[in-house]
Amino acid sequence: MASPRDIAGFVRSLERWVTLQRMILDNFKKADERVREADRLEIIIHTRIAFNHLIKTLKAFDDWLQDPFISSNIPRDLLIEVWDTTLKITEMLLELDIKHTSAVKDLIEEAVREGRISPLLQLRDIGLGRENRRGEGHSMSI
């Protein structure tokens, strides 16, 4: 059985995590205005920073849900709330992916038809063995 001191340390750890997440959320909200006025590279960089934080948070949440202490003590209604929100996030991400990938495919096809693809831009097989990527096995390089 965990001692009160162990539980207090665990609670402090949770408080630190929440404080950090709130600070990061605030930073993303503040960055939004700058990003909207930024050039394409800066938008990509900020989006990748957001993706990296999403990945880190999802991994932490997944680890959290695997913790026996959490899984045996979280009430069912809170788990349903987590599921509902997770489903919404998943749907939004998949819809974004479908929309963006389809739009880029259409832009590339149109540019090829109209001869607007730079001769410096090539589609090539990079042979990295990566699976489940857009344009699997191909990369655009300059």
DSSP characters over 14-81? HHHHHHHHHHHHHHHHHHHHHHHTS-HHHHHHHHHHHHHHHHHHHHHHHHHHH-HHHHHHS-HHHHHH
Q: Which pLDDT belongs to residue 136? A: 62
Helices (H) and strands (E) in the chain, counts: 4, 2
* CA–CA separation, 57 and 22 (whole Å): 12
Could you tell me if residue 63 is inside a domain?
yes
Could you tell me if residue 102 is inside a domain?
no
Please say whether the beta carbons of 122 and 135 come within 8 A. Answer: no
Could you tell me if residue 57 is inside a domain?
yes
Q: Which pLDDT belongs to residue 128? A: 40
Could you tell me if residue 10 is inside a domain?
yes
Please say whether the beta carbons of 95 and 112 come within 8 A. Answer: no
Q: Which pLDDT belongs to residue 7? A: 85
Say whether pLDDT at 11 is over 80: yes
Could you tell me if residue 43 is inside a domain?
yes
Higher pLDDT, 117 or 97: 97
Can you read off the two tokens belonging to residue 36? 């909207």
Could you tell me if residue 62 is inside a domain?
yes
Say whether pLDDT at 127 is over 60: no
Give the number of domains in the chain.
1
* CA–CA separation, 60 and 57 (whole Å): 5
- Percent of the chain residues past pLDDT 70, beyond the cut: 81
User: pLDDT tens, 26-82?
Assistant: 999 999 999 999 999 999 999 999 999 999 999 999 999 999 988 899 999 999 999
Q: Name the residue range of residue 51's domain.
A: 1-74
Say whether pLDDT at 120 is over 90: no
Could you tell me if residue 140 is inside a domain?
no
How confident is residue 141, by pLDDT bands cut at 50, 70 and 90?
Answer: very low
Say whether pLDDT at 123 is over 70: no
Could you tell me if residue 55 is inside a domain?
yes
CA dihedral (79, 72, 55, 86) in degrees, to 10, reads: -10
